[in-house]
Structure 1
């Protein structure tokens, strides 16, 4: 469907659109995600086609409505309900629709988030929709998260400082890079920053912004975040060490 026709349909039928099962819940924020592709898919290489809907302006967002943020217009995040599968992708706008290919070999219930910045007022947005993947490898069994502030991808190791975190208060944590073989990490920018951090609570129902800030040392970053509730949070840290993209899953516990 071309962009003009879709905008007409949206203007006429916005109430029906908001109740569609593949549409993001309004509490996700100002921008919702509406899948054009099916939300029940076969495992493997999947193409996700979707619309971004400004729930305030009641319009479909094109690439002209979104500013470049961290080198991309849209950042997409896909993870399963067990918080073991994770993909960070970058949808593009073509022929009146947003789309991206993502490899999902493992069965399970997934959530897809689209995050960006509105060109009109530079407001950050995020919207999500659920996916069901079948026909692939057995789904991961749900496990209760427990605090684990150290992790590795190959030879690259990261550690988050042991500073206590309190809900609804700003937290400042240190993120330290090292290597198992004791050589010095060679950390270079990834998407315009020295690291990219994606954080979700143990139920996976929200996306928490964590902003890495550089220090005088390339082996040390400061993470600034505010966690809305107590509980355990999965934190995926992505960075480039020695020209290789690394992804490390950590868990932090947030106190009342």
Structure 2
């Protein structure tokens, strides 16, 4: 004989199922300068199409690696916690310098004009090609109405993601780090370049950069970067953005963003050869690291692929 479940039992069963569903979603999600520093890197050729900016709900914004509300977030949303990145530019021409215009709107819908300093700048802007072979790091200028302009070096054909990294100095987001992004299409024949194999060493402008450390996804882990030239330790690094090196990383496949924070103390123009970083990369797989450092007034950019377990 069939007896219908009592209301109390049914309610408990529904609550348990709901809790399990939320937990399952949470676990799946967590698994889941010029001043520009950023002329396009020599020899970086160029990639295929990525999808448009994937929106991330405000409910997920506080989850590590999901919303871009902190510098360690993935930055793949154009709106988080009421803050939205907008731009009139969805395409840019290939092979020539271009100006990318954008605005950050706050929860009240108005353009944000007050930003706190982060590593000496109020806005860090990155243009990254979908196959991670193109990279520019720029510090744009803001007009009085809140419109920012990032002066880009020539872009190659393909899909690019434009990241804006900032910290509001007022409002509900005061003191919080945001990374928002949108995609831009550069028309023309685009050829996808495979990501270079994972390695612990690369060269740039005659310098050899070696990364020591084996980070695990979702865990804080120290990384050490050693810089040499002609097999000799480099000890004349100059401060750049209030540190001896700036290190950003992008995940293969989705271009998820991570900023690796430097911990080496700055003391004059004699940094190196070893630099320490705090690394917390949210997902496993290959990450493309871009290290920027300065010697003799010249900014160098080195790139290598790091495998995260």
TM-score by length of 2: 0.68
- Which residue pairs with 1:247 in the alignment? 301
Matched, 1:178 2:228: yes
Instruction: Output one character per residue of 1:111-152: Cα deviation in whole Å (capped at 9) or x when no partner.
Output: 0000011212211111000011125xx534231453122112
Matched, 1:157 2:211: no
Structure with bigger gyration radius: 2
What is the alpha-carbon distance in structure 2 between the residues aligned to residue 196 and residue 124 of structure 1?
17
Once the two structures are TM-superposed, the CA of residue 167 in structure 1 deviates from its matched residue by 0.9
Match of 2:194 among 143, 146, 156: 143
Matched, 1:205 2:259: no
Once the two structures are TM-superposed, the CA of residue 68 in structure 1 deviates from its matched residue by 1.4
- Which residue pairs with 1:238 in the alignment? 292
Map 1:22-61; keep pairs closer than 5 Å: 25-26=55-56, 27=67, 28=77, 29-30=80-81, 31-36=83-88, 38-43=89-94, 44-54=96-106, 57-61=107-111
More strand by share: 1
**Contact 2:100–2:151 at 8 Å: present in 1 too?**
yes
Quickly say closer, same or farther: Cα 1:174–1:215, change in 2 above 3 A: farther
What is the alpha-carbon distance in structure 2 between the residues aligned to residue 68 and residue 99 of structure 1?
18
Of residues 108-117 and 181-190 in structure 1, the stretch that sits farther from structure 2 once superposed is: 181-190
Which sections of structure 1, spanning at least 5 residues, go unmatched? Answer: 1-20
**Contact 1:23–1:32 at 8 Å: present in 2 too?**
no
Quickly say closer, same or farther: Cα 1:205–1:233, change in 2 above 3 A: same
What is the alpha-carbon distance in structure 2 between the residues aligned to residue 122 and residue 61 of structure 1?
17
- Which residue pairs with 2:140 in the alignment? 91
What is the alpha-carbon distance in structure 2 between the residues aligned to residue 200 and residue 59 of structure 1?
30
Matched, 1:75 2:144: no
Which sections of structure 2, spanning at least 5 residues, go unmatched? Answer: 1-50, 57-66, 68-76
- Which residue pairs with 1:223 in the alignment? 277
Question: Match of 1:47, SS?
Answer: strand
Once the two structures are TM-superposed, the CA of residue 85 in structure 1 deviates from its matched residue by 0.8
Alignment RMSD: 2.2
What is the alpha-carbon distance in structure 1 between the residues aligned to residue 265 and residue 191 of structure 2?
37
Q: Number of residues paired by the alignment? A: 228
